[in-house]
A and B are shown apart, each in its own frame.
Chain A
Amino acid sequence: MSRPSALRIFVKTVIARAYPRTVGHARNWSWVVIEIVLPLIGTVAMVYVYRALRAPAEYTGFVVLGGTLLAFWQNIVFDMAGNFIWERGGSNLELFTVAPTTFTAILLGMALGGIFYTAQRAAAVLLVTSLLFQVHYRPAGIAPAVGLLALTLLALYALGMLLASLFLFFGRSAWHALDGMQEPVYFLSGFYFPVHSLGAYVAGAASIIPLTLGLDAIRQVLLPGTPVFLAPAWEAGLIALQIPAYLLSAQWALRMMERLARRDARLSMRWV
């Protein structure tokens, strides 16, 4: 029986699954409000904390860049890591499984769609807070920062794919676990302060989250006076290593997830 190649199905799945992410968010402006306003509020509050402490001006820049990348972490937590739980609740997961495609392609499509719309939200937060608080960036650092951001996002969304498969086994506690992941990661990744402040051991351990290294490297190339945890080139190298590591782990976890899910009937189990 002639049938489409695996590659063709993979590519088509990626495009098709990215589609609702892009058009859906364009059609539902309520989420735009949440995704821009929430990081904006957090950023503004932290800037005022620094002002109350009479901190040097560059700290405002640290907070603004942290607040910008925060949109991506929220996207990873709620739209990637928690996605299969949500899809299972709406019976999509069963249909994804029965189709001759792969979970990897579906997650990759979600990731691309997620990056597309989250980048717009992040840009809006960056623009508004930079103008509001008069943050100055080093012009020569802009191109390297964009490169570092792209690298960081690749690693981050690969981690998101891994988390998506792991969280499918959380059952009822999944949303609470995801919710509980927010502030601890804001702390460990140094969203509101240079990660150097955590000390080498904690910052080193926190580097397992690609945002820790990515955010630090971007701060270093854009904002003069950023305390150095590792040189940006080293940080870029480590992030580059994380990409295949997370992708392969995600592949393994997805295969494992499907096998266990078929055995234990978890693909259609709903927790309310």
Chain B
Amino acid sequence: MQVRFGGFGLTTAGIQTWRGLGASARLGWQVSSNWTSPGVFLVYSVLRPISAALILTVIYQVITRGRASTYLAFLITGTAFWSFVQQGLSGFANAILDDRGQYRMLKYIYIAPLPFGVYLVGRAIAQLAGAAASAVIVIGLGTITLHLPINPLRANWLLLGVACLLAFAAIVAIGMAFTFLLLAGRDTHGYGEIGAGVLYVISGAIFPIGILPGPLATIAALSPLAYWMELVRRSLLQAQAYQMFPGLSDVDVLIRLVASTIGTVVVASLVFRWADRRGRQQGYVDRDVQW
């Protein structure tokens, strides 16, 4: 059956999928924010990234002793945008593990006609929306209090938007695959933090990947996150950006981001499919968690 919306044709299954996606995103938001008022929720959501930014600011000021450097803006932008990875991986993994272990709902969602992947994407979107609020606040506070050279009128919003869309696709893909792997364990709550932590080291969020030892630097260069961080800084800070890849133009970095994102999504999809099949073989989805 096909329903027409303006010039677009949508099958009933397609409409159900979109509805499912919206419902999953709403559910994700409600579950993660149902404990308090939106104001308090926002405070808790930004407390961690603001403190992380403060730690890095103090480190920067202790070492540079007031010398002018573009590295402070590098640190603050990296910390602010890191929230997306933190929420898309660690927050997302914990949410799904809670769906299984604490709320014992995952099995019912899994057997619902809505594709499970769509549900997961919906939950991930809710996590990323929470991260967006904290990123905006950290960047805003950093610009005002630390005088970061960010001018909203001169920022390249198109480049930022494209880079973020690509990065979110990669983050959601990694988050889904990683979470499905974690479902194999009886008590893997907290492992999401490790996954995010590993990416923290190889993403160029708070230091250039060039100073990593050889093998780690190679892995970092294959991941889309470092290129995303680079484009975020170039688009917001323009000429004042501390560059990790000074030899590459914006277009070169974007091409690398596209290529590494495609590679990441393909690999993550394969891992997801494998983990899904294995999960059904082993009965992970409705596993009781008891510690």
Closest residue of B by beta carbon distance from A56: B63
Say if the beta carbon of B12 comes within 8 Å of chain A: no
A34 with B59: CB separation less than 8 A: no
A193 with B51: CB separation less than 8 A: no
What A residues does B62 contact at CB under 8 A?
193-194, 197
Interface residues of B in 203-240 (CB under 8 A from A): 206-208, 211-212
**Stretch in contact with the other chain, from A97-105, A110-118, A159-167, A180-188:** A180-188
Closest residue of A by beta carbon distance from B188: A30
Interface residues of A in 1-47 (CB under 8 A from B): 28, 30-31, 33-34, 37-38, 41-42, 44-46
Given the interface pairs A44-B201, A45-B206, the reply to whether A183 lies near B52 with Cβ below 8 Å is yes
A179 with B44: CB separation less than 8 A: yes
Complex CA gap A182/B51 in Å reads 9
Say if the beta carbon of B5 comes within 8 Å of chain A: no
Given the interface pairs A30-B188, A48-B212, the reply to whether A180 lies near B44 with Cβ below 8 Å is yes
Given the interface pairs A37-B194, A182-B48, A197-B62, the reply to whether A45 lies near B201 with Cβ below 8 Å is yes
Complex CA gap A33/B191 in Å reads 9
User: Which of B43, B63, B185, B206 makes the CB contact (< 8 A) with A55?
Assistant: B63
User: Which of A173, A184, A197 makes the CB contact (< 8 A) with B47?
Assistant: A184
Closest residue of A by beta carbon distance from B197: A41
Interface residues of B in 7-49 (CB under 8 A from A): 34-36, 40, 43-44, 47-49
Given the interface pairs A45-B201, A52-B207, the reply to whether A186 lies near B34 with Cβ below 8 Å is no
What B residues does A31 contact at CB under 8 A?
187, 190
Complex CA gap A194/B194 in Å reads 26
Say if the beta carbon of A172 comes within 8 Å of chain B: yes
Given the interface pairs A49-B206, A172-B35, the reply to whether A272 lies near B59 with Cβ below 8 Å is no
B188 with A197: CB separation less than 8 A: no
Complex CA gap A192/B63 in Å reads 12
Given the interface pairs A45-B200, A173-B36, the reply to whether A53 lies near B71 with Cβ below 8 Å is yes
What B residues does A44 contact at CB under 8 A?
201
Say if the beta carbon of B111 comes within 8 Å of chain A: no
How far apart are B217's CB and chain A's nearest CB, in angstroms? 11
A53 with B64: CB separation less than 8 A: yes
User: Which of B75, B191, B198 makes the CB contact (< 8 A) with A34?
Assistant: B191
What A residues does B198 contact at CB under 8 A?
41
How far apart are A34's CB and chain B's nearest CB, in angstroms? 5
How far apart are A187's CB and chain B's nearest CB, in angstroms? 5
Given the interface pairs A34-B193, A42-B197, A45-B207, the reply to whether A173 lies near B60 with Cβ below 8 Å is no
A49 with B194: CB separation less than 8 A: no
Which of A45, A54, A55: most chain B Cβ within 10 A?
Answer: A45
Given the interface pairs A37-B197, A51-B211, the reply to whether A183 lies near B61 with Cβ below 8 Å is no
B71 with A52: CB separation less than 8 A: yes
Given the interface pairs A182-B48, A183-B48, the reply to whether A192 lies near B71 with Cβ below 8 Å is no
Say if the beta carbon of B291 comes within 8 Å of chain A: yes
Say if the beta carbon of B68 comes within 8 Å of chain A: no
A193 with B54: CB separation less than 8 A: no
Given the interface pairs A51-B207, A53-B64, A172-B35, the reply to whether A38 lies near B59 with Cβ below 8 Å is no
Interface residues of B in 71-104 (CB under 8 A from A): 71, 75, 102-103
Complex CA gap A193/B54 in Å reads 11
Closest residue of A by beta carbon distance from B98: A272
Closest residue of B by beta carbon distance from A40: B197
Say if the beta carbon of A93 comes within 8 Å of chain B: no
A48 with B59: CB separation less than 8 A: no
What A residues does B207 contact at CB under 8 A?
45, 48-49, 51-52
Mind listing 25 A-B residue pairs with CB under 8 Å? A30-B191, A33-B191, A37-B194, A37-B197, A38-B190, A41-B198, A45-B200, A48-B212, A49-B207, A50-B59, A50-B63, A52-B207, A53-B59, A53-B60, A53-B64, A59-B63, A173-B40, A176-B35, A182-B48, A183-B55, A184-B47, A192-B55, A193-B55, A197-B58, A197-B61
Question: Nearest 10 CB-CB pairs, A to B?
Answer: A183-B51, A172-B35, A41-B197, A52-B207, A53-B63, A184-B51, A48-B207, A180-B47, A55-B63, A183-B48
Name 13 extra pairs, CB < 8 A, besides A33-B194, A41-B200.
A30-B191, A31-B187, A34-B190, A41-B194, A41-B197, A44-B201, A45-B200, A46-B59, A53-B64, A173-B36, A180-B44, A182-B48, A197-B58
